[in-house]
Amino acid sequence: MFTDTPPLPQRVRRMIDDVPIVDPHTHLRAVGPQARDLDALLSYHWVRSELIAVGMSPTTWSDPSLNGPDRLRVMLPYLKRMRSTAMGWTLRKMLRDLYDVLEPDLDESILERLEDQVQTTGRDPSWAVEVLERRCRLHTYVTSLGNAAESDAQAVRGGGGPIPSRTIGTIKVRYMLDAHYLFCPGVATDLTPFFPGRTEKIGYYDALCEAIGQRPDSTARLDRAVGDWLERVITGPTRFSNVFIPIETRFRPPDVVAADAALGRAARGQSLSASDLDELIAAVSWAVLGWHHERSKAFQIAVGAEYFICDGKSIPRFDPTWTTEMARVFHHFGHARFDLMMASAVMTHDLAVLARQFPNVYLSGYWWHNFHPAAIESIIATRLELAPAMKVGGFLCDAYTAEWTYGKLELVKLGLTNALCRLIESRFLDEEDTPALLQQILHNTPRDLYDLNDPLP
């Protein structure tokens, strides 16, 4: 009996589904990564920003009179207003596939049933295995070091050596050090285990000393102290550093004389001026980058956004001098491997050319403001046409729960399918070469870039 060949999109989608996925940037907990309740599931900050944009009060999540169930009921009419967006699609896909919610919009009766379902799966350790291993086919995920089990986090804070390896089913869990505060203090305030709640530059020296366990009074001592600290932290299952920098931030070499003077004053307990702090930040940044260069370690950078504008909002932005200035940094630290996640689609071509030209520059995923199918389709097509596939990572989810990992992976698969179909139909890509290409960008590139294949005790 003869059967019709499935259409090209179906064939490509099956190829994607066959690849074991390596996710090099998540915020999943290492133990119990599933959502514990429906409030945690629906209050994901990517959803929050859209709910606020369609009229929901920003104080909804800080209002002490609203408990979780009450807050969910306040959300209902606003969730309907964001149905047309990529996040609206992802949310519906996630609820339909994981919880059998077939209705297009949530109402109170569905909400009540969902609350019970999510609380049940939140207590079930097999649920994370079902979602991440069976449905997502994750092979490895890398999460923030602060998402380690509390006992593990306490050990690393105390300098007790590498934290233990963990798995979710057969999935390997690895870690990244969130170093945002060291490069741009204040851009993030959830950077455990070393910089929790740090929101201002004024306490920079004290926060640094608390992390590294020393009070350096010169750049020479600072370099050694930062290097020793990184040597203790980035070891075992902790594989690399990650930093988010606003578009106006640059990595620049410090003025050693000025930095030495600032460190001397800080070590004596004297207050530092704004220019002193800038020199101190430059010195620390250069020390961190230098350590990654000397050890040939990967360094993940999220770029292309303006931060804390208009009451804490973020917008995509490109600066015409960024590529040139950062290219010099990539060249100077030529043994470090720089992986770029971008929020501004305007940077797509420039960054693809950097990956094409620089042996140590890589590109991963579709981040923040680019996380929608049309952008994914355009970005991955441009990257594959310009940069070798071994320099391109095809997925990262930036998710905080297993369920959002599933939903966001489905969205990426949609954009990736569209891109590959276009490349095949234009005869740029041969269909028979597509499985190997997918294996490279979804598994091999992030595995090799971040040294995720090393056996661990």
Residue 350 and residue 409 in one domain: yes
Max avg pLDDT among 56-65, 68-77, 229-238, 355-364? 355-364
Residue 77 and residue 190 in one domain: no
Q: What number of residues does the chain have?
A: 457
* 96: pLDDT strictly greater than 90: yes
Residue 246 and residue 362 in one domain: yes
Q: How many CB atoms lie within 10 A of CB 427?
A: 7
Question: Which pLDDT belongs to residue 168?
Answer: 95
- The answer as to whether 58 is a domain residue is yes
In whole angstroms, what is the distance from residue 75 CA to residue 4 CA? 46
- The answer as to whether 420 is a domain residue is yes
pTM of the model: 0.94
Are 227 and 245 contacting, i.e. CB atoms less than 8 angstroms apart?
no
- The answer as to whether 457 is a domain residue is no
What is the tens place of the pLDDT at every residue in 403-434? Answer: 999 999 999 999 999 999 999 999 999 999 99
Residue 187 and residue 323 in one domain: yes
Tokens, residue 168: 């979710």
Question: Which pLDDT belongs to residue 347?
Answer: 94
What is the tens place of the pLDDT at every residue in 191-226? Answer: 778 888 777 888 899 999 999 999 999 999 999 999
Question: Which pLDDT belongs to residue 457?
Answer: 47
Question: Which pLDDT belongs to residue 158?
Answer: 61
What is the tens place of the pLDDT at every residue in 14-60? Answer: 999 999 999 999 999 999 999 999 999 999 999 999 999 999 999 99
Cα dihedral 447, 453, 454, 457, rounded to 10, equals: 130
Greater model confidence, 85 or 245: 85
Question: Which pLDDT belongs to residue 178?
Answer: 93
Domain stops at, among 62, 96, 123: 123
Please compute the mean of the pLDDT values over residues 424-450 and round it to a whole number: 97
Query: What's the mean per-residue pLDDT of the chain?
Result: 92
- The answer as to whether 433 is a domain residue is yes
Please compute the mean of the pLDDT values over residues 228-242 and round it to a whole number: 93
In whole angstroms, what is the distance from residue 378 CA to residue 373 CA? 9
Per-residue pLDDT band at 1 (split at 50, 70, 90) = very low
Question: Which pLDDT belongs to residue 160?
Answer: 58
Percent of the chain surpassing pLDDT 70: 96
Nearest alpha-carbon partner for 205 in 136, 275, 262, 288: 262
Domain stops at, among 123, 145, 173: 123
CA neighbours closer than 13 Å in the CB half-sphere of residue 440: 12
- The answer as to whether 84 is a domain residue is yes
* 67: pLDDT strictly greater than 90: no
> In CATH, what number is assigned to the domain containing residue 358?
3.20.20.140
* 150: pLDDT strictly greater than 80: no
- The answer as to whether 134 is a domain residue is yes
Question: Which pLDDT belongs to residue 159?
Answer: 64
Question: Which pLDDT belongs to residue 183?
Answer: 93
- The total number of structural domains that make up the chain: 2
Domain stops at, among 94, 123, 152: 123
Residue 357 and residue 295 in one domain: yes
Question: Which pLDDT belongs to residue 314?
Answer: 85
In whole angstroms, what is the distance from residue 64 CA to residue 41 CA? 19
Residue 46's domain comprises: 35-123
In whole angstroms, what is the distance from residue 34 CA to residue 38 CA? 11
Residue 164 and residue 194 in one domain: yes
Question: Which pLDDT belongs to residue 248?
Answer: 86
Please list, residue by residue across 345-359, b when 16 or more beta carbons sit within 10 angstroms of its beta carbon and e when fewer do: bebbebbbbbbeebe
* 334: pLDDT strictly greater than 60: yes
* 381: pLDDT strictly greater than 50: yes
Residue 21 and residue 83 in one domain: no
Residue 113 and residue 205 in one domain: no
Please compute the mean of the pLDDT values over residues 100-128 and round it to a whole number: 94
Rg (CA), the chain: 23
Tokens, residue 401: 């729960």
Are 252 and 269 contacting, i.e. CB atoms less than 8 angstroms apart?
no
Question: Which pLDDT belongs to residue 453?
Answer: 83
Residue 54 and residue 138 in one domain: no
Are 83 and 96 contacting, i.e. CB atoms less than 8 angstroms apart?
no
Per-residue pLDDT band at 161 (split at 50, 70, 90) = low
Tokens, residue 455: 């056996």
In whole angstroms, what is the distance from residue 405 CA to residue 399 CA? 6
Percent of the chain surpassing pLDDT 90: 80
Residue 86 and residue 149 in one domain: no
In whole angstroms, what is the distance from residue 455 CA to residue 256 CA? 40
What is the tens place of the pLDDT at every residue in 275-295? Answer: 999 999 999 999 999 999 999
Question: Which pLDDT belongs to residue 318?
Answer: 87
Give the 3-state DSSP-derived string for the chain, with helices as H, strands as E and coil as C: CCCCCCCHHHHHHHHHHCCCEEEEEECCCCCCCCCCCHHHHHCCHHHHHHHHHCCCCHHHHCCCCCCHHHHHHHHHHHHHHCCCCHHHHHHHHHHHHHHCCCCCCCCHHHHHHHHHHHHHHHCCHHHHHHHHHHHCCEEEEEEEHHHCCHHHHHHHHCCCCCCCCEEECCEEEEEEEECHHHHCCCCCCEECCCEECCCCHHHHHHHHHHHHCCCCCCHHHHHHHHHHHHHHHCCCCEEEEEEECCCCCCCCCCCHHHHHHHHHHHHCCCCCCHHHHHHHHHHHHHHHHHHHHHHCCEEEEEECEEEEECCCEEEECCCCCHHHHHHHHHHHCCCCEEEEEECCHHHHHHHHHHHHHCCCEEEECCCHHHCCHHHHHHHHHHHHHHCCHHHEECCCCCCCCHHHHHHHHHHHHHHHHHHHHHHHHCCCCCHHHHHHHHHHHHHHHHHHHCCCCCCCC
Residue 323 and residue 427 in one domain: yes
Residue 72 and residue 208 in one domain: no
